[in-house]
Amino acid sequence: MIKKFKLYILLAAMAFSAASCLDKMPEDGIPFDESIQTVDDVNLAVIGIYDAFKSSALYSGNLTILPDLQADLVYGVNGNTNTFGDIWRWKDILATNTSIEAVYAGLYNVINRCNFMLDRVDRVRNNTTDDKDLYKLDQCCGEAYFARAIAYSELVKMFCKAYESDEDAANQLGVILTKHYQGNEEMKRASLKASYEFILEDLDRAAQLLALDKDYDPSVDGALFNNATYFNEYTVYALRARVALYMRKWDEAIKYSSKVIDSEYYLLASCTRTISSGVSYYKYMWTDDMSTEAIWKVGFTINSYGGKLGQIFLNYNHVNYRPDYVPANWVFGLYDSNDLRPETIFQTLQTGFSHGLSWPLLIKYAGNNEFIAANILHVSMPKVLRLSEQYLIRAEAYVQQAQPDYGRAGKDITTLRTARYSTYGGSTALSASNAMEVIEAERVKELYMEGFRLHDLKRWHKGFERKPQDQSLANGSSLKVEADDPLFVWPIPQHELDAPGSQVQPNESNK
């Protein structure tokens, strides 16, 4: 159960986080009641929360890669290392899968850190009189509430069924909800409805505490390669829009995505405007992790970074490329001839396998140029929330609402394509017959290998089929997955189910 291993998770993760009083948990020498006593302690605890997102089990690894790898976006290559092979083959996914266990533990690590800090902050606040310090405490609490919300949103996305309606969700399994690090909260799964309500409550708190100065002028520096490594009011709205989309709350999705889009804090990264010779703003986002459209990215330095997103797609050893997985051929056909995204996302390269496969490999995660210069390959800062997703959220919500607005949805797709195409004249004509087909394809093109595909297919109630392509592994290349297959929902890790006194209910995929 969560509380049985929460200290194990926290202590194991502390070696990678900033030094703070959280380095010593109760069993490690400092009683809980003596921890986090000053504003600086609270701030260090929040730094630890941000650092927890660097885990290779989360956005710089499993949480981003596995959902798309499990679906239909890539193929295993003959001669590969079998990394994540059980996930890709689909039928071999078990409750004992260590990659899935790592995601589950990594997300609860974030949640437990947040709870630890939030349980202690009131005592610090009661002993604080300085207005600046009180403001800092509010900011830290806002960051903790948001971090907890996004961690729970990912748990719900991967380990629960799609949200169909409030009535249906009230009868579906959600996740274990905890507000406190210490306490007697029941360690069993809440309903899916209650789980989403918990997320929304945290986002409401975060929005209030992370509100930006209304006198701030975004034209000064807000849309010029923003750092985007910290949470703010619009980070909250971006996640709120995503959650609303997943809950099928179309009006809410439109409301919150519009707050982000209309803020002018962020601008879509142009594929035609250049930062230097041959480097567009869009390319710069992936090669240097600097962007006008990143709403939140996990911040890395060459001395402190997470996993290697590009490893399995390149496996470059300074001599040749031996990718474990290559893009599905059908994906290339989605891009129009004047769409410039493929130039940054893919590059045709000769592999070093004996079969000599030449294929458009995924170079989107080849690595940050500064890291490459330091001989650190395949490391990119995960862009967890981007402006382009907000346009896609709003477009889908426009066409799914009770009275579809195909005109506004078309304008959002047009805006996105204008930023990504060499030229894009006219407008995007959407109708009842083609709107979702266009939006679904645009999500693949724009969000390729960013961790959305499995849940998109789940919530759209669509299956997929793989057919062999050049040098693809025989075991896994011929696969037909029907809509609503149980493995669209990841199994609850077996150690959770087997813990003494466990009340945690399994998923259908556990059976």
CA 100 to chain centroid, in Å, comes to: 15
d(CA 432, CA 405) in angstroms, rounded, equals 10
d(CA 257, CA 505) in angstroms, rounded, equals 34
Mean pLDDT of 93-102: 96
DSSP state of 466: E
d(CA 487, CA 457) in angstroms, rounded, equals 12
Q: Which helix (H) or strand (E) holds 75?
A: strand 74-76
d(CA 91, CA 77) in angstroms, rounded, equals 18
pLDDT at position 224:
55
Contact 308, 300 (CB under 8 A): no
Residues above pLDDT 90, as percent of the chain: 85
* Assigned token pair, 53: 């997102």
Spell out the domains of the chain, with CATH numbers in brackets: 36-76+87-210+485-510 (1.25.40.390), 223-230+256-299+308-463 (1.25.40.390)
Q: Distance from first CA to last CA of the chain, Å, rounded?
A: 19
pLDDT digits (tens, 9 = 90+) for 349-390: 999 999 999 999 999 999 999 999 999 999 999 999 999 999
pLDDT digits (tens, 9 = 90+) for 389-418: 999 999 999 999 999 999 999 999 999 999
Closest by CA position to 144, among listed 124, 119, 170: 119
Label each residue of 153-218 as H, E or C.
HHHHHHHCCCCCCHHHHCCCEEEECCCCCCCCCCCCEEEHHHHHHHHHHHHHHHHHHCCCCCCCCH
Helix (H, G, I), strand (E, B) or coil at 152: helix
d(CA 47, CA 229) in angstroms, rounded, equals 11
Helix (H, G, I), strand (E, B) or coil at 304: strand
Helix then strand then coil, % of the chain, to nearest 5: 50, 10, 40
* Assigned token pair, 160: 């629960």
Mean model confidence pLDDT for the chain: 91
Q: Cα–Cα distances in Å, from 128 out to 142, 227, 446?
A: 18, 30, 47
Confidence of residue 5 (pLDDT cuts 50, 70, 90): very low
Q: Tell me: pLDDT of 116 over 70.
A: yes
Confidence of residue 26 (pLDDT cuts 50, 70, 90): very low
Helix (H, G, I), strand (E, B) or coil at 111: helix
Q: Tell me: pLDDT of 463 over 60.
A: yes
Residue 367 exposed, middle or buried by CB count within 10 Å (0-12, 13-18, 19+): buried
Rounded to 10 degrees, the C-alpha dihedral 322/323/329/335 comes to -110
Rounded to 10 degrees, the C-alpha dihedral 452/441/238/194 comes to -50
d(CA 505, CA 188) in angstroms, rounded, equals 7
Contact 230, 144 (CB under 8 A): no
DSSP for 384-430 reads: EEEHHHHHHHHHHHHHHSSS--HHHHHHHHHHHHHHHBS---S----
* Assigned token pair, 178: 């905890």
Contact 106, 63 (CB under 8 A): yes
Helix (H, G, I), strand (E, B) or coil at 444: helix
Contact 122, 111 (CB under 8 A): no
In sequence order, which residues have a C-beta less than 8 Å from that of residue 165 and are 6 or more positions away? Answer: 248
Q: Cα–Cα distances in Å, from 163 out to 8, 135, 327, 384, 477?
A: 32, 37, 29, 21, 30
pLDDT digits (tens, 9 = 90+) for 288-323: 999 999 999 999 999 999 999 999 999 999 999 999
